[in-house]
A = this chain, B = another copy of it.
Amino acid sequence: MITSKDVARLAGVSQPTVSRALNDHPKVSAATKQKVREAARALGYAPSAVGRALSTGRTTRVGLVVTDLDNQFYSYVIAPMHDELGRLGHELVLVTEADETGPIAERLISLGLAGVVLATTTVDSILPARLQDRGMPFVYFNRVAGVEADAVVVDPSAGVEALARAVADAGHKRAAAIFGPHNTSTGEERERAMRAALEEVGISLSQRDVVHGPFDFESGRRGAHELLGRDGAPSLLICANDLVALGALNAAAELDIDVPGRVSIIGFDDLPPSRWALVQLSTVAYDLEAMSREAARLIVSRVQGDRGAPARRVAFGTTWVPRATVGPSPR
């Protein structure tokens, strides 16, 4: 490995001068900087992030902590977050959190992460408290938990209220729903917003027409088979997110149930596949890409700046995007 010592030798200066020159320290003469840069280039020198990290006590790595990396939702988060982190001189490390909330905090510290983005926190997770105790900066992404911290979240209300008015106008009277898990803030908040909005417009949501499940395709598929398979099913199926709705849409295809002829289906997130001509899912949209970038900016600013600053919360608004999966109520 080529180190700053090698560069120093070639440039005829001391090793600390190499460090200062390459970091563009103001008190290094232009001539020396020039000499050092040339030597570095000649040797193909690449400063070691490991050496720097040990010396400064800080790295430029940010962890994205998720439980289920194969949930497709995150694939739409990773690219913009990675991109924004790169722009800010940081790297993205993926970390999956096993079910046991055991040594994960220690692991994050061990890895030498500068900070982490928590994307799948459950409300009962002890991880946020652990991180706070250990002084590891973090930001909540999409979901929040008990401990006060920076957060990027979605405010469902505007989109959900518009949605409710639209389906009421389309004549729907009874809805079914596949909601998210009870132990996630997102699941709970959307469910609450949706129930309130439906009630407001006089659409009923009977307990027997509601199921809960994870935010994934299979949950939607299974839930739809259960809810739509029986006679007298509601004319409207509301889903916890787009992946759930895509699962439900496919279940409808499997059951040969016409959408939106017999049932209207609604998602939440507006992921790219929802916009496909083949899909045209009606959904509640927000700017997921901007949200991912914002999380990157928040964690970097927290890592670099004042750790004691008050927690910031950035909320993204939602809009209702009607497409082909919602139609007039058949009854």
Contacts and interface: CB of A to CB of B under 8 A. Distances in A.
Interface of A: 1, 44-51, 53-54, 57, 59, 61, 69-70, 72, 74-76, 78-80, 82-83, 86, 91-96, 106-107, 109-112, 134, 217, 246, 249-251, 253-254, 272-273, 276-279
A126 B255 CA distance: 52
Contact of A277 (B1, B80, B250): B250
* Copies of this chain per assembly: 2
B278 A93 contact: no
A71 to B, nearest CB: 9
B49 A111 contact: yes
B94 A78 contact: yes
Contacts of A72: 75
Contacts of A82: 69, 94, 96
A112 B49 contact: yes
Contacts of A91: 93-95, 111
Contacts of A246: 276
B250 A48 contact: no
Give 8 nearest A-B pairs by CB, closest first.
Answer: A75-B75, A70-B79, A253-B277, A46-B106, A46-B110, A69-B79, A46-B109, A50-B112
A160 B53 CA distance: 50
